[in-house]
Amino acid sequence: MSDTLLNPSRDDFSALLEESFGARGGLTEGKVISATVVGIENDFVLVDIGLKTEGRIPLREFGLEGSSLKVNDTVEVYLDRIENALGEAVVSREKARREEAWGRLEKLFATGEAVDGAIVGRVKGGFTVDLGGANAFLPGSQVDIRPVRDVGPLMNIVQPFSILKMDRPRGNIVVSRRSILELDRAEARTEIVAGLAEGEIRDGVVKNITDYGAFVDLGGVDGLLHVTDMSWKRISHPSQVLNVGDTVQVQIVKINPDTQRISLGMKQLLSDPWDGAEAKYPVGARYSGVITNITDYGAFVELESGVEGLVHVSEMSWTKKNLHPSKIVNPGDPVDVIVIDVDGDKRRISLGMKQAQANPWEAFLTQSPIGSTINGEIKNITEFGLFVGVNDELDGMVHMSDIDWNLPGEEAIKSYKRGDMVEAKVLDVDVEKERISLGIKQVSSDPFATETLKRGQTVTCTVTEIASGGIEVAIGPDNIMKAFVRKSDISRDRAEQRPDRYAVGDRVDAVVTAIDKATRKVSVSIKALEMAEEKEAISQFGSSDSGASLGDILGAALRQKEQND
């Protein structure tokens, strides 16, 4: 035996290997080769690759083509191994299809062309797409332009997809059906939009309703019908007017050539109810309407379809002040209103509800004119006066200075409490300022005005208070008027000018020395009376110069006075 056969070199081994492959028809493992279908048994396809052995391929690896596969068909397969331990060739249709597909798909991906495929399964987050030998991932968001609830009708149907991403080393392909639809839609939209014109009237079908409007299909292209363009009247939500599937007539209001967005309108097909609003709704005219909306600052009243006016909260009621409008009216309430102001350009009408009702201050003035007397309950007491209810709606105010003729207001107000019934005179009614002035002391006559006092007149007084600087006295039998006798006016004799000589309740005579009507004050003096009496006694009974003593003169005067009394 030769040394070559006993000790083969690396080159000898390579030659023997090539000879062996050549003996097997020149087949090379790891390559795609042609094979002939020789049988289909139990979900397996038997193929002949030109060797003594056959290869077995699962039928599922043939994908959609497996349904039409038959004996003697030629198919491309991937040769993993020429012969395994069982003497069978290890081949794969799936790998062959993948190799073929990847090469084809890479070319299409480079040029941006669409690829045909079929959705064949569902996986987490999306679906599996068979691209003719290579499986790709279709994210759920890329199935359609809008969310699709049921993908069943799209399964196993060959349709175009665009490749978003390819990673051959990892075997990842991401595709999109949505991008194809958007492209088709954009092309169709451009063509359709080119045939539309602003101001044109079209029929459309409501496809979707949102909070701000509705999307209307104009036959392949959607337009937005904003809620403000649905009706001249106020609409809270588009569903008040439209339903999905409704056929509507709309006018093309605007077309944006850059974004191809179409704005639609329905109200534009109707006449504007605000045209000539100033003539239709003159200031001061009275109308009936319905409350449509309530805000913090007032309520909107519909005068006709599409025309609403605002009643400010200050114009809602004569007497209900500082209340939220919802406490006065409710949506749907019928109301009578008076037009206060109209601005047709700004589409605004100011209305008043209270103006459509009788002014309660005018009614009160008619029923209770100034100078009349009313009886009412004290509703509130403040630091400056009393509030008295004059009827079920209105209150009048008694200022503290109008409570009592003699007592200061601070003291007089302490005599009253809430709930007391009082009699008061109507002093003034200011309709414009919505004020009623009342007086309690005016119910009785002014004692200062009725008392016929004169300077120098002698009056009998009753001591009401003792003070260090004098005594306070009440004048007359009814003790209505008050006066103050100063310490220096208590007596002619200095030693007797002591206030403590008197006690509350003592009666004394005094002479009126001053009357001030402006300040309503009367001054009296006991000293002045004594001096007057002394002067009169001297004139009647003689003088001390004639030899009579002052005691004799005054004694005679007193005796004369007692006889007269």
Q: CA-CA distance, 440 to 400, in Å (whole number)?
A: 10
Distances (CA, A) of 464 to 470, 472, 480: 11, 6, 12
User: H/E element holding 141?
Assistant: none
The total of structural domains in the chain comes to 6
Residue 50 is predicted with a pLDDT of 77
Strand locations in 468-556, DSSP E?
A: 470-475, 481-486, 507-516, 521-525
Residue 1 is predicted with a pLDDT of 46
Q: CA-CA distance, 430 to 142, in Å (whole number)?
A: 76
Instruction: Check: CB of residue 362 under 8 Å from CB of residue 434.
Output: no
Q: What is the pLDDT of residues 353-364, one digit of tens each?
A: 999 988 999 999
Residues 33 and 86 in one domain: yes
CB-based contacts of 234, cutoff 8 Å, min separation 6: 292, 293, 300, 302, 308
Conformation bin of residue 329: beta by default, left when phi > 0, alpha when psi is -120 to 50? beta
Dihedral sign from CA coordinates of 343, 347, 353, 357: positive
Q: What is the pLDDT of residues 119-153, one digit of tens each?
A: 999 999 999 998 877 889 999 999 888 888 888 88
Residues 433 and 456 in one domain: no
Q: CA-CA distance, 190 to 255, in Å (whole number)?
A: 12
Q: CA-CA distance, 516 to 484, in Å (whole number)?
A: 13
Residues 391 and 330 in one domain: no
Residue 15 domain-assigned (yes or no):
no
Percent of the chain with pLDDT over 90: 32
Q: What is the pLDDT of residues 155-178, one digit of tens each?
A: 999 999 999 999 888 888 999 999
Q: CA-CA distance, 529 to 490, in Å (whole number)?
A: 10
State phi, psi for 191 to the nearest 5 degrees: -70, -40
Closest CA to 40 of 58, 26, 28, 24: 58
Residues 125 and 151 in one domain: yes
Mean pLDDT in residue range 328-339? 93
CB count in 10 Å sphere of residue 92: 18
- Residue 283 pLDDT more than 50? yes
Residues 487 and 402 in one domain: no
Q: What is the pLDDT of residues 381-394, one digit of tens each?
A: 998 999 999 988 89
Give the domain extent around 120: 114-182
Q: What is the pLDDT of residues 406-417, one digit of tens each?
A: 778 888 888 899
Residue 39 pairs in a beta bridge with 46
Distances (CA, A) of 2 to 7, 11, 14, 548: 9, 16, 18, 200
Residues 479 and 424 in one domain: no
- Residue 202 pLDDT more than 60? yes
Q: CA-CA distance, 482 to 490, in Å (whole number)?
A: 16
- Residue 477 pLDDT more than 80? no
Residue 17 is predicted with a pLDDT of 47
Residues 103 and 118 in one domain: no
Pairing of strands 286-294, 298-304: antiparallel
Residues 208 and 234 in one domain: yes
- 364 burial (CB, 10 Å; 0-12 / 13-18 / 19+) is buried
Residue with tokens 């006065």, as numbered in its chain? 328
Radius of gyration of the chain (CA): 58
Residue 301 is predicted with a pLDDT of 94
- Residue 189 pLDDT more than 90? no
Dihedral sign from CA coordinates of 37, 42, 43, 49: negative
pLDDT confidence tier of residue 325, bands split at 50, 70 and 90: very high
Q: CA-CA distance, 248 to 230, in Å (whole number)?
A: 11
Tokens (6 digits) for 298:
């007032």
Residues 173 and 222 in one domain: no
Residue 352 domain-assigned (yes or no):
no
Q: Is the pTM of this model over 0.75?
A: no
Residue 540 domain-assigned (yes or no):
yes
DSSP-based three-state secondary structure for 421 = strand
Instruction: Check: CB of residue 370 under 8 Å from CB of residue 427.
Output: yes
Residues 162 and 231 in one domain: no
Residue 23 is predicted with a pLDDT of 40
Residue 422 domain-assigned (yes or no):
yes
Closest CA to 143 of 222, 131, 111, 129: 129
User: H/E element holding 277?
Assistant: helix 277-280
pLDDT confidence tier of residue 15, bands split at 50, 70 and 90: low
Task: Write the DSSP string, 144-211.
Answer: -SS--S--GGGBT--EEEEEEEEETTTTEEEEESHHHHHHHHHHHHHHHHHT--TT-EEEEEEEEE-S
CB count in 10 Å sphere of residue 458: 13
State phi, psi for 101 to the nearest 5 degrees: -65, -45
Q: What is the pLDDT of residues 62-103, one digit of tens each?
A: 777 777 788 888 887 878 777 776 667 788 777 777 777 788
Residue 31 pairs in a beta bridge with 79
Collect contacts of 183-186 with beta carbons under 8 A, ≥24 apart.
Answer: 185/145
More confident residue, 195 or 561: 195
**Out of 305-309, 498-502, 541-545, least confident range:** 541-545
Pairing of strands 421-430, 435-439: antiparallel
Residues 284 and 234 in one domain: no
Q: Give the domain-ending residue among 112, 140, 156.
A: 112
Mean pLDDT in residue range 32-38? 82
Q: CA-CA distance, 68 to 87, in Å (whole number)?
A: 29
State phi, psi for 212 to the nearest 5 degrees: -105, -5
Measured at the alpha carbon of residue 441, what is the angle toward residues 437 and 447, in degrees to the nearest 5? 140
Residue 10 domain-assigned (yes or no):
no
Residues in the chain: 565
How much is the mean pLDDT over the chain?
83
Q: Give the domain-ending residue among 343, 374, 392.
A: 343
- Residue 3 pLDDT more than 80? no
pLDDT confidence tier of residue 479, bands split at 50, 70 and 90: low
Residues 438 and 386 in one domain: yes
Residue 16 is predicted with a pLDDT of 52
Residue 351 domain-assigned (yes or no):
no
Residue 8 domain-assigned (yes or no):
no
CATH of the domain at 295: 2.40.50.140
**Out of 24-28, 36-40, 325-329, 525-529, least confident range:** 24-28
Residue 7 domain-assigned (yes or no):
no
More confident residue, 17 or 198: 198
CB count in 10 Å sphere of residue 253: 18
- Residue 240 pLDDT more than 90? no
DSSP-based three-state secondary structure for 319 = coil
Q: Give the domain-ending residue among 343, 374, 399.
A: 343
Instruction: Check: CB of residue 119 under 8 Å from CB of residue 154.
Output: yes
